Every structure is written in C-alpha cells, then in structure tokens.
C-alpha cells in the first residue's frame, strides 16, 4: 500500500463536508473520484495535501503516518516532497515564464542547481508538448496549454503521486482533449494519480478505480469497469444514469 | 514682463534648481525609501496576520492618517525637544515624511497583496517552496505591479510635500524661493517659477512611471 487515508473528517462552519472518508491507493493506481458537486471530493483531495486542515483523519504514506489534523509544518513539507498537485485553475505563477514555473520549485524548494533544474524542466515540458514555449508567460497561453505546463510542473519534482483537482473543469470544451491525452499518457507510463473529475470517459477508460462520493461519504468504490457496468449502490446507479441522460 | 522681473527670474532659476537637486530630490528619495520599507513591512504583517504586531500596525495607520502632516512635522521638530529628543531639521523631515507616506502606502501594498490569488501561495507550497520563498518570488512581485501606480502617486505627492519642510527650517527649494522673495518682493513671478520647477520634476516622475509600468507589464494579462 502506497497511500492510505483513514476516517478523514472536515466541517466548514458546522456543516459536515467530509464524514469519515477512507481511501487506499496502490502504486500505479489511477483513481477517479466522482460525485455530484458539493459531495466533498475537492475538499478531500485538498486535505490529503494539507491545503485544507482536516478536523480529523490519518494518512499513511510509504509507511509513514501523518495526522491530517495536527501534522507539523516539517511533516507537511516532507510529505509534499513526494506529492504534486494540479489545480482546476492551473495556478501557474503569473509573473514567471513557462520554464521558470517548472524550475522554481526545483531550485528553491529542492535546492537544485540551475542547470540541472532546467534540464529536468525541459524534459517535463517536452512530455506535455510545451517545450517550444519556454519563454512565454501564462497569460500568453490558452487554458489547455497552461494546464499542461502545470502538469509539467507537477512532474518535474518526480512525485510518487499526483493529485488532480478537476483539471479540465475550467477549460473550453475544445481544449479538454489535449489535457486528457497528457493525463492518459501519464497513466499509461505508470504514474500514480488521484483525479477528481467530471470526465466520465476518463474515469471509465483511463482510471483503474473509482471512488464515488456523495454528501461527504464514500458511497461506492472499486474497479472502474465494475463501477460503470454493474454499480452496486442505488445512488451510484442514479448518478451514472444522470450522466447518460445528460449526454442525450 | 518688465526687464527687472525677467532678470530676477533668470538669476534665481539656477539657485532654485540647485536647491531642488541638492535638497528637495534627496529629501524625497530618502523619505520615499523609508516609506517604502515601512509600508512593505506593515503590509506584510497585516497580510500574514501576525498577532499583536498587526494591532500595532493598525494603530500606526490610524494615528498617521488621522492627523495633519504639517502638525506631525511641527510636533517632531518643535515639540519633541521639550522632552529631550532633538532631531536636526533634515532627518526630522525624512522621518516624518517617511512615516507619514508609509501609512498610506502600506494600505496600497496590503490591497495589492490581497489581490494576488491565494492559489499562487498554494501552488508554491505544493512545489515545496517555503512561505518566505513564495512571498519573495511570486506574491510580492505580483503585488508590486498592482501597487505600482498607487506608489508612483505617493512618490509624486511626497516630492511636492517636501516643500512643507521649509516650515521647520530645512533650506530646500521652496524655502530658497521665499528667501529670494524676501529680498526682491516678486511673489507672483518667483512662486510661479518654483511651481514650474516642481511641475518639471513631477513630469519627469510621471514619465518614469510610464516606463516602469511598461516594464512591469511584460508578463501581461489578467489574473487567474
């Protein structure tokens, strides 16, 4: 087991958003976290990387335990070295070029030499097809290009797992494909990924497992194929039906 | 214009300009540097919500913005000596101008800091940067760009405000004009002349501001 989250709980102003979520991730897993808006998916993902402080919960990562509520700053920094996060709004550093966006974490965070960082960054940018725009600023790129740079930034730190928070939700429909195809490549290369998404094709065809959440609880989890073809829970069935309806 | 007045203006011009360059400009630069330092520190303390210090900063801004600059100047230069604090005129002016404008600029910088998306901070954390690193390399540069027009405003207003230092015996450009006027009684001509020199200085600053804004615009675009 590479990552295990246990009993993750979180409330905002007395409203329970996460009611004790459990998750297990094996190396190489690509897990799609699905569910209607407001089900707590994003909050759960953010808690795993301490972007949000859970009220309770435990994370075991590579055998090391982290208290999701009370971990120290040093613990959090150590955990984040092994993880990467891709945001819905990309969150590229707006005052930095494409290349700098990828190298900054390496030179400052990981204290790498400039040349070495550049080499890694260029490689990561090649992987997402953005190596020809090294000197562009985020504002000069399309949303799809920005998100690919964000993925390169995530890759550059050689994380053990990448968290994706609705990576295509802010994109114009015609730009979604380029981001999904990069994610598909990563999945095929064996990257461990945890993806909050509304892209059912991705969940169905690329992800290996599904975690279906509603109202702050996990309703059903298991292999993707089984989830889509033979959902066990009534609410999962309703969810899948609603998606099929929406497509018509 | 009669020949006498013209002669006076031509004679006084190099003298005024000399005091402008040797006193008004350095007084402005030093005061602005102090104000910038104060404003960034005060803004950062509030942005990072440092306990206690934050209240101290609010108090400082409240006091400074709520009292006239001229009164502050006189309080420090004429008032403080009676409790044994004697500061020479020039440094007293720098201190008062710096602390005064610093309070206004702190609000501009704080507003600019808060306009930087929180996502920038989160992205920085996620790639392993520390709070200080993110502030230094990502948030402050972006805030600086946003605050730049307001800070330029402060600089221009400060340049003109240094004329108040004449009231605490600093021999700067305006006081020099009053001194010359005391000899020749040509208020309209001399004060127009000194006003035009201030105008020229401010025009130069406006021009520099435009160049600065162009430079800062290099990464273009809207905020995410």
Global confidence as pTM: 0.89
Q: Name the CA dihedral angle for B151, B152, B157, B162, rounded to a multiple of 10 degrees.
A: 90
Asked if the C-beta of B128 comes within 8 angstroms of chain A's C-beta atoms, the answer is: yes
- Number of domains within chain B: 1
Is there a contact between A198 and A169 (Cβ–Cβ < 8 Å)? yes
A145-171 in b/e burial notation, b at 16+ Cβ within 10 A? bbbbbbbbbbbbbebbbbbbbbbbeeb
CA distances from B45 to A183, B39, B107, B110, B137 (A): 41, 10, 12, 9, 18
Interface pTM, i.e. ipTM? 0.94
∠A163-A166-A171 over CA atoms, to 5°? 130
A contact test, residue of B112, B120, B121, B123 with most A CBs within 10 A: B123
What span, in angstroms and rounded, lies between the C-alpha atoms of A8 and A59?
9
Whole-angstrom distance, CA of residue A221 vs CA of residue A48: 18
For residue B146, the enclosing domain spans 3-219
d(CA B206, nearest CA chain A) in Å: 24
Beta carbons within 10 angstroms of residue B191's beta carbon:
14
Nearest C-alpha in A relative to B223 = A94
User: Residue B46 domain-assigned?
Assistant: yes
Residue B204 lies in a domain: yes
Give the pLDDT of residue B223.
Answer: 41
**B222 inside 8 A of chain A by CB:** yes
Residue B7, min C-alpha distance to chain A (Å): 54
Q: Å from A190 to nearest chain B CA?
A: 21
The CATH code of the domain that includes B95 is 1.10.3720.10
Supply B143's token pair: 């805030």
A109: nearest CB among B127, B220, B222? B127
Residue B40 belongs to a domain? yes
Report CB contact under 8 Å: A93, B222.
no
Beta-carbon separation of A91 and B221 below 8 A: no
Q: Measured in whole angstroms, how far is the alpha carbon of residue A38 from the centre of its chain?
A: 17
Gap between the Cα atoms of B102 and B161, Å rounded: 14
- Report the side by side order of strands in the sheet with A217-223: A83-86, A161-165, A192-196, A30-34, A209-214, A217-223
The residue in chain B having the minimum alpha-carbon distance to the alpha carbon of residue A108 is: B129
3-state SS of chain A is CCEEEEEEEEEECCEEEEEEEEEEECCCCEEEEECCCCCCHHHHHHHHCCCCCCCEEEEEECCEEEECCCCCHHHHHHHHCCEEEECCCCCCCCCCCHHHHHHHHHHHHCCCCHHHHHHHHHHHHHHCCCHHHCCCCHHHCCHHHHHHHHHHHHHHCCCCEEEEECCCCCCCHHHHHHHHHHHHHHHHCCCEEEEECCCHHHHHHCCCEEEEEECCEEEEEEEHHHHHHCCCCHHHHHHHHHHHHHHC
Pairing of β A209-214 and β A30-34: parallel
Q: Best mutation site among A108, A121, A171 for testing chain B: the one with the most B CBs within 10 Å?
A: A108
Instruction: Compute the distance between CA of residue B73 and CA of residue B61 in angstroms, rounded to an integer.
Output: 16
A140: which chain B residues are within 8 Å (Cβ-Cβ)?
A: 220-221
C-alpha dihedral over B162, B167, B170, B171, to 10 degrees? Answer: 90
In a domain, B224, yes or no: no
Query: Taking a C-beta distance cutoff of 8 angstroms, is the pair A92, A146 a contact?
Result: yes
Contacts of A85 in chain B (CB under 8 A): 122-123, 126
pLDDT tens per residue across span A129-170: 999 999 999 999 999 999 999 999 999 999 999 999 999 999
Q: Is residue B215 part of a domain?
A: yes
User: Per the structure block, which two tokens stand in for B45?
Assistant: 């303390």
A138 touches chain B (CB under 8 A): yes
Tell me the pLDDT of chain A (248 aa) as tens digits.
899 999 999 999 999 999 999 999 999 999 999 999 889 999 999 999 999 999 999 999 999 999 999 999 999 999 999 999 999 999 999 999 999 999 999 999 889 999 999 999 999 999 999 999 999 999 999 999 999 999 999 999 999 999 999 999 999 999 999 999 999 999 999 999 999 999 999 999 999 999 999 999 999 999 999 999 999 999 999 998 888 888 76
Rounded alpha-carbon distances, angstroms, from residue B4 to B9, B175, B177, B189, B193: 9, 22, 17, 11, 15
Q: What pLDDT does B221 receive?
A: 61
Mean pLDDT in each 10-residue stretch from start to end of chain B (224 residues)? 90 97 98 98 95 96 97 97 96 98 97 96 96 96 96 97 97 97 95 98 96 87 47
Q: Which of A114, A104, A196 is nearest to A150 (CA)?
A: A104
Q: Which domains does chain A show, CATH number per domain? A: 1-82+161-173+183-248 (3.40.50.300), 92-159 (no CATH)
Assess B78–A contact: CB distance below 8 Å, yes or no. Answer: no
Minimal Cβ distance to B122: which of A83, A91, A96: A91
**Which class for A63: exposed (0-12), middle (13-18), buried (19 or more C-beta within 10 A)?**
exposed
Q: Taking chain A, what is the end-to-end CA distance rounded to the nearest angstrom?
A: 40
């Amino acid at each position: 087991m590479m990552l295990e989250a246990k009993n993750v709980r979180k409330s905002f102003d007395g409203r329970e958003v996460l009611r004790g979520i459990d998750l297990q991730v094996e190396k190489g897993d690509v897990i799609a976290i699905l569910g209607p808006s407001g089900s707590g998916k994003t909050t759960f993902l953010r808690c795993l990387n301490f972007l949000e402080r859970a009220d309770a919960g435990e994370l075991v990562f590579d055998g090391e335990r982290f208290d999701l509520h009370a971990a120290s700053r040093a613990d959090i920094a150590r955990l984040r070295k092994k993880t990467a996060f891709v945001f819905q709004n990309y969150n590229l550093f707006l005052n930095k070029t494409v290349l700098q966006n990828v190298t900054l974490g390496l030179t400052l965070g990981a204290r790498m030499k400039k040349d070495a960082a550049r080499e890694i960054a260029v490689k990561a940018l090649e992987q997402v097809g953005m190596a020809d725009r090294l000197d562009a600023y985020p504002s000069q790129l399309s949303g799809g290009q920005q998100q690919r740079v964000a993925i390169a930034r995530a890759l550059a730190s050689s994380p053990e797992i990448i968290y994706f928070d609705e990576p295509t939700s802010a994109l114009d429909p015609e730009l979604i494909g380029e981001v999904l195809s990069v994610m598909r490549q990563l999945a095929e290369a064996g990257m461990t990924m945890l993806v909050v998404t509304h892209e059912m094709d991705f969940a169905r065809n690329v992800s290996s497992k599904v975690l279906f959440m509603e109202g702050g609880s996990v309703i059903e989890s298991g292999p993707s194929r089984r989830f889509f073809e033979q959902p066990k829970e009534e609410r999962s069935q309703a969810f899948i039906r609603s998606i099929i309806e929406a497509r018509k | 214009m009669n020949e006498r007045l013209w002669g006076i203006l031509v004679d006084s011009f190099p003298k005024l300009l000399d005091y402008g360059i040797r006193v008004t400009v350095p007084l402005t630069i030093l005061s602005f540097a102090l104000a910038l330092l104060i404003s960034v520190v005060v803004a950062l303390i509030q942005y990072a919500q440092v306990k206690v210090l934050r209240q101290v900063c609010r108090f400082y801004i409240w006091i400074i913005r709520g009292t006239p600059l001229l009164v502050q100047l006189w309080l420090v230069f004429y008032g403080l000596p009676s409790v044994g604090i004697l500061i020479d005129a020039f440094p007293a002016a720098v201190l008062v101008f710096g602390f005064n404008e610093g309070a206004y600029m702190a609000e501009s910088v704080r507003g600019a800091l808060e306009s930087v998306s929180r996502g920038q901070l989160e992205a920085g954390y996620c790639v392993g940067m520390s709070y200080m690193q993110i502030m230094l390399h990502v948030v402050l540069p972006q805030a600086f760009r946003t605050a730049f027009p307001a800070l330029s405003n402060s600089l221009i207003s400060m340049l003109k405000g240094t004329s108040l230092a004449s009231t605490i015996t600093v021999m700067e450009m305006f006081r020099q004009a009053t001194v010359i006027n005391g000899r020749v009684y040509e208020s309209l001509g001399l004060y127009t002349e000194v006003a035009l020199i201030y105008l020229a200085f401010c025009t130069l600053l406006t021009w520099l501001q435009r160049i600065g804004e162009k430079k800062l615009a290099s990464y273009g675009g809207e905020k995410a």
